[in-house]
A and B are shown apart, each in its own frame.
Chain A
Amino acid sequence: MSDVTRILNDIERGDAQAANDLLPLVYEELRKLAAAKMANEAPGQTLQPTALVHEAWLRLAGDEYKQWDGRAHFFGAAAEAMRRILVDNARRKKALRHGGGQQRVDIQDVDLAGALEDDQLLALNDALDRLAARDKPKADLVKLRYFSGMTIEEAARVLNISEPTAKRWWAYARAWLFAEIQTAN
């Protein structure tokens, strides 16, 4: 039984602490996975974060573990982990560009990108924090969809809201974040 499966089982049993253990594990797995993939990629290739999340899921738990609750927890943690990785990555690249003085380009510094440019990603990250402070469920919805690659239906299930509600939230959160980023610029 893998660590992740054990943790997911703990979560199922109601161990609140277990959920905290999940994030670092998923985070590490995603980093390793991204590094390994990048080693085999032609330079300039990008990896899709959501694809990584799904692969991480299959590697960590996929074959042993198929219960929805654990899956929901995993993708929630993965969304958060992926967000941190992308934001770290963007920050580091930005530091390099602004004359950080480093010559060596680490494997983690090459592109691991969504559709957004680094600056946009950082702006989104800030805006998302502001949204989370005001309306956490909607920020969670954005993270699940954007960073974990969940569909509206899946995210609605994780958040235990109806699909129409999820769609309404999504439209609102998306417009809100877009306006927020625009104003901040």
Chain B
Amino acid sequence: MNTSASNPEPAPSSPNREEAIFDGALQLPPGQRAAYVEAACAGDAALLRRVQVLLEAHEKAGGFLNPAALPAPAVGAQGTIVISPLPSEKPGDVIGRYKIRENLGEGGCGVVYVAEQSEPVRRRVALKVIKLGMDTKNVMARFEAERQALAMMDHPNIAKVLDAGATSTGRPYFVMELVRGIKITDYCDQHHLNTRERLDLFIQVCNAVQHAHQKGIIHRDLKPSNILVTLHDGIPVPKVIDFGIAKATEGRLSNLTVYTELHQFIGTPAYMSPEQAEMSALDIDTRSDIYSLGVLLYELLTGQTPFDPQELLKSGLDQMRRTIREQEPSRPSTRLSTMLNADLTEVARRHGSEPPRLIHLIRGDLDWIVMKALEKDRTRRYETASGLAAELQRYLHDEPVTARPPSSLYRFQKLVRRNQTVFLAAGAVLAALVLGFGFSVYELRRALAAERAERKEVEAKLGLVEELHRRQLIGEQLRNAGLLISQGKMEEAEELMRHVPAMSADSIIYNVLGDVHADRTNWDAAIQNFSKSIEVDPTNYTAYHHLTPLFLRIGDADAYNRLRQAMLRQFAGATDPAIAEDIALDCLLLPPTTTDLAVLNQMVSAAQTGATNEETVLNAELAKGLAEYRGGNFAASAGRLRKVAAKKGDKDRTLQALIVISMAQQKLGQTDQASATLAKAADVAGNDFPRIHDHDWNDQLTAEALMNQAKAIVGDAPQKNAAAQ
């Protein structure tokens, strides 16, 4: 029997509907599960069956795999085998003046209980006992630090320390204000807090951290589980708890820190600042907390930390440190727009918003604020927690923020500063590209001035060069890939790129490989490379722009449609006229939905408004004409495009305009003119159309896609055009 047919297959680490529905069902009383599952599967019979099998298994599994149901440990002749490393306190135990009520959870190096204090006042408190088996001097020193540190602080958003002592077995314990709250991230998600409400909570956390910093105390382990939200009269109040590894920058406490061994990995990797990852523990200051706050803000906005904690852990300590120290995380809005649709919808739902609105809201100022807090170089972060809070206040009041995207010069300097070999590699890639394509920057500039017709292509190449300066994660493999490309060894370059982890690769290399493959009419290989490029950098419009005609060339309309949706999501708000006009034209190559057409019309308008030179104006006009055609305004379309076609210059633009005119004429019932216009288009195209091998493959394929549509509706094309095909 085929087992996999009846058993669900969880997709590795990606959300899985069976699992989600199964989880949901288990939250319900058994009697309500069947109805819920049926509704949740929404008619998907296979899915329903799989979830039912799972739930049935859950009911029947009984003590299966339950470690508690294992036989009691055998007692050997030498005595008992097991020594449990787990806490030994239980409800009812009395420690000092406190009576244990319940286990609240484990954190850091201790176990936290709810305890009852009877004198001098009757109240419930949180009692933290150092875990059995972990009570080294090291941990005791950290607790001692926490006790003193907390006593120095008095802030409504910081949990107070009330008492300290030792249990009868000699283990230290600490008594703190009882905070019955939930993790700040969970609170925000469960209550569907919108971005503004999340920022309000976060600003309070900044203020608490600022207070601690002013007392000379660094938290060093800020993370959601240490920031709990409680309700006071219905108003959510965040409380920072567990200054358990706080370290004073003042001398009074510093003698305790000698116990903190240099190599001991303190903190949680996902929230750890680069300098903490460096593990030169003596060099941690308040700016590490600013970084952790940046991670928290990132998570509050996107639902994810900048680096996947599981990936970090799995990658091993060395790689983990390198990632935290060197890898630039995606901007929050980029992270959102690269999520799977289902994930993004879920994140947006938790923000009480919809995906496009959420991305739009975060893109820009919030992106830069988060990225400034997350700067690898701490001197470039916000100097204080209150500085970060003030910046967010400015954002909330629609005032200009100080965080700005780093200039390309700054990024380049940063690149050089960080790693000499990386810098050399970047230079080598640049050289390789320049050699490989027979261009030099000088020539590019000259060509730019002299050859208006080639302007677009030259700009693209110049863009490549500039992009190289901007990219920051170019390593040895990229250098070699670049060299191989320059030597025309495309297969070897590709082989090499397969071993470059996607995140550290540079989209530009994939774009170059895709470009070369397309030039050689290797459509599939070109598609693979451009797809990879989008994976690496979902904001790079070049790859999208190249993929659209390629998908049409291989006749994959589904892929085209999916790509179009991604483009609309990514570039709907594009203001750069060159990008807006290209993307709009790409998205109009097949008839769009009415909704999408409205968005595309806006993009075209943006391109028309922003166009500063004749080329851009004409390209925007072409896109506008096609949009009108798609919208059924055939007369307007034909009229507009006749003017475009009349202009000398880009031959492919003229060709594309003529093709659309012929289709418009056909729709207007002017069948003779339509055939004549199409014949004229075929003349312009020439006998060797489509000529791919002259770097114009994109324009050629675009024209070809339109030409195929025109032939389908204009009817029998004149004989000589058929021959040309």
Contact = CB atoms under 8 A, between A and B. Distances in A.
Contacts of B73: 47-48, 51
B57 A58 contact: no
Interface in A64-81: 66-69
B317 A145 contact: no
Contacts of B123: none
B81 A55 contact: yes
B640 to A, nearest CB: 55
B65 A48 contact: no
Interface string B51-67: 00111111011011101
Given A48-B72, A172-B19, A135 B67 contact: no
Contacts of B134: 66, 68
Contact of A172 (B7, B54, B70, B264): B54
Contacts of A174: 58, 61, 64-65
Interface stretch (A8-16, A82-90, A92-100, A102-110): A8-16
B74 A160 contact: no
Interface residues of A, number: 59
Nearest to A151: B86
A179 B59 CA distance: 11
A59 to B, nearest CB: 11
Nearest to B310: A160
A124 B413 CA distance: 56
B317 A14 contact: yes
B327 to A, nearest CB: 16
A58 B83 contact: yes
A115 B70 contact: yes
A142 interface: yes
Interface string B469-486: 000000000000000000
Contacts of B4: 130
A117 to B, nearest CB: 12
Interface residues of B, number: 64
A114 to B, nearest CB: 6
Contact of A179 (B56, B85, B225, B310): B56
Given A54-B82, A160-B313, A37 B76 contact: yes
Contact of A14 (B60, B65, B264, B316): B316
Given A41-B76, A55-B81, A66 B136 contact: yes
B23 interface: yes
Q: Which of B1, B57, B269 has the most CB of A within 10 A?
A: B57
A114 B270 CA distance: 36
A41 B225 CA distance: 46
A175 B321 contact: no
A175 B74 CA distance: 29
Contact of A160 (B60, B83, B269): B269
Nearest to A38: B76
B3 A180 contact: yes
A137 B106 CA distance: 22
Given A175-B55, A175-B57, A134 B65 contact: no
A11 B10 CA distance: 31
A176 B54 contact: yes
Given A66-B136, A180-B3, A175 B72 contact: no
B488 to A, nearest CB: 36
A40 B76 contact: yes
Contact of A45 (B1, B61, B64, B74): B74
Q: Which of A45, A113, A137, A175 has the most CB of B within 10 A?
A: A175
Given A134-B9, A176-B7, A178-B57, A16 B70 contact: no
12 contacts: A46-B74, A115-B69, A134-B11, A135-B13, A145-B65, A160-B270, A168-B23, A174-B61, A177-B64, A178-B64, A179-B57, A180-B7
Given A54-B82, A160-B269, A184-B1, 6 more contacts: A46-B74, A47-B81, A136-B12, A138-B10, A174-B61, A175-B54
